[in-house]
Amino acid sequence: MAEQAVAAEKKKRSSDDYSYVGMVFHRLTRHKLAMAGAVMLILMMLFVFVGPLVWRADPNEQIPGLEGMFNPPSQAHPLGTDDYGRDVLARMFFGGRISLFIGFISAVSATLIGAFIGLLAGYYGGWADNLLMRFTDAMLSIPTFPLLIALASVMGKGMWQIIMVIVVFGWMSDARLVRGLALSLKEQEYVEAARAIGASANRIMWRHLFPNTLAVLIVSTTIGIGSSIIYEASISFLGFGIQAPLASWGNMLQNAQQFIWNAPRLIVYPGLAIFITVLGFNFFGDGLRDAIDPKLKL
């Protein structure tokens, strides 16, 4: 009988989980901005990851001589060539991979660090909460962008350096968010029951509290990817990010700024790609946030 009761409880929980996921998915599909953002992101993913399979070209191969520079769009080069005679379309493909990789890794890493600090502060409270939150407040008071540039110049110029710099200044909002949720969740009956049967603090935080913050953290990560792409593009545009010959959308903008009058397309292409990608992540993140909140009517 005990085994049947446990099996029934597991079945009920899985059914509830499925119902909740189904509800979120249904609400998400009814959110027009979320669907518009999803379409934008799907198109950009196809462009970045499937495009190189269709258009096979070396992003660093140069056409020798002056006749290879600033060629207009043609059958041989659908988006033309840049100031070094390199195929712009191929550089857009591989530059997009770099920008998306930096945005994804930075956002996920910052979210996990923020969740860890927020859980510690919210669960333990007292001096731990005061210490961690005052440190978070101090980090929030620092002007982020100038210090990002300073750290990027000190730590070196490269992909992993950029990721580290973005993560250092990207976890604070997630920490405050998770801390507020943990303060509320730790007073729930299931947490009290786990504590009564002798569950350790680590088990309670990571097996009971953390899963209940995942929905909010997924939304935060989705929006954070767009912000990280903007940071990478800004740092690379100023010359402190991804260095040639490696391409990213940010350093493509930086390399093309001096040719804005005689070859404006070199700025339009990466700028438009950044705009569509970030807008897609923001639309989808806002829609996901609305879909997760059952109090909002869609």
Stretch among 17-21, 176-180, 275-279 having the lowest mean pLDDT: 17-21
Stretch among 250-254, 260-264, 289-293 having the lowest mean pLDDT: 289-293
Is the confidence at residue 273, as pLDDT, over 80? yes
Q: Considering only CA atoms, which of 140, 111, 148, 114 is closest in space to residue 233?
A: 148
Amino acid at 87: D
- Residues 282-295: tens digit of each pLDDT: 999 888 888 886 66
The pLDDT value recorded for residue 298 is: 59
The pLDDT value recorded for residue 189 is: 84
The domain segmentation of the chain, as residue ranges, is: 20-292
* N-term to C-term CA, the chain: 43
- Per-residue confidence band for 204, with pLDDT thresholds at 50, 70 and 90: confident
Q: If you average pLDDT over residues 108-126, what whole number do you get?
A: 92
% of residues, the chain, pLDDT over 70 = 90
| 114 neighbors 180 (Cβ within 8 angstroms) | no
Q: What fold does the segment set 20-292 form as a domain? A: MetI-like fold (1.10.3720)
The pLDDT value recorded for residue 2 is: 46
Q: What is the DSSP letter of 213?
A: G
Distance CA 199, CA 168 (A): 32
Q: What is the DSSP letter of 72?
A: P
Pairwise pLDDT comparison (282 vs 68), residue with the higher score: 282
| Residue spans of beta strands (DSSP E) within the chain | none
| 222 neighbors 271 (Cβ within 8 angstroms) | no
- Residues 9-27: tens digit of each pLDDT: 454 454 444 576 788 788 8
Report the chain's mean pLDDT, rounded to a whole number: 83
Is the confidence at residue 4, as pLDDT, over 90? no
Is the confidence at residue 108, as pLDDT, over 80? yes
DSSP string across 198-215: T--HHHIIIIIIGGGGHH
The pLDDT value recorded for residue 84 is: 85
Stretch among 42-46, 81-85, 102-106 having the lowest mean pLDDT: 81-85
Q: If you average pLDDT over residues 259-263, what whole number do you get?
A: 84
Q: If you average pLDDT over residues 78-101, what whole number do you get?
A: 89
Distance CA 149, CA 240 (A): 7
pTM comes to 0.82
